Amino acid sequence: MFKFVEKLCGLGFPKIRIGALAALIVGSGLFASCDFIKGLSGGYTAYTEDIEYLIHEKGTGDLPKEDMMVKLHFKMYKQSEGKEDSLLSQSYTNPQNPKGLPLGVPVKGAPGIDDVLKNFRVGDSVTVRVPFSKFTPPGQPLPPGVVASDKVKLTFKIVAFATQEEYKREMQSLQEEAQKEMMAKIQASKLKDEEVIKAYLEKNQLKAERSPDGLYYIIEKQGTGAQPVSGEQVTVHYEGRLLADGSKFDASYDRGEPFKTIIGQGMVIEGWDKGIPLLKVGGKGTLIIPSSMAYGEMERPGIPANSILTFKVELLKTEKAPEVATSGAGGVNGQ
Yes or no: is domain 5-170 CATH 3.10.50.40? yes
For 61, phi and psi rounded to 5 degrees? Answer: 95, -175
Three-state secondary-structure class, residue 69: strand
For 45, phi and psi rounded to 5 degrees? Answer: -110, 130
For 224, phi and psi rounded to 5 degrees? Answer: -115, 0
Span 134-160, pLDDT tens digits: 767 777 888 888 888 898 888 889 899
DSSP label of 145: T
Q: Is the confidence at residue 206, as pLDDT, over 90?
A: yes
CATH 3.10.50.40 domain position(s) in the chain: 5-170, 206-332
Return the higher-pLDDT residue of 200 and 328: 200
pTM greater than 0.85: no
Span 192-203, pLDDT tens digits: 999 999 999 999
Rounded to whole angstroms, the Cα distance separating 4 from 143 reads 12
Rounded to whole angstroms, the Cα distance separating 276 from 262 reads 11
Judge contact between 253 and 313, C-beta under 8 A: no
Span 229-244, pLDDT tens digits: 999 999 999 999 999 9
Return the higher-pLDDT residue of 155 and 326: 155
Three-state secondary-structure class, residue 198: helix
Rounded to whole angstroms, the Cα distance separating 74 from 22 reads 14
Return the pLDDT at 17: 38
Q: Which fold has domain 206-332?
A: Chitinase A; domain 3 (3.10.50)
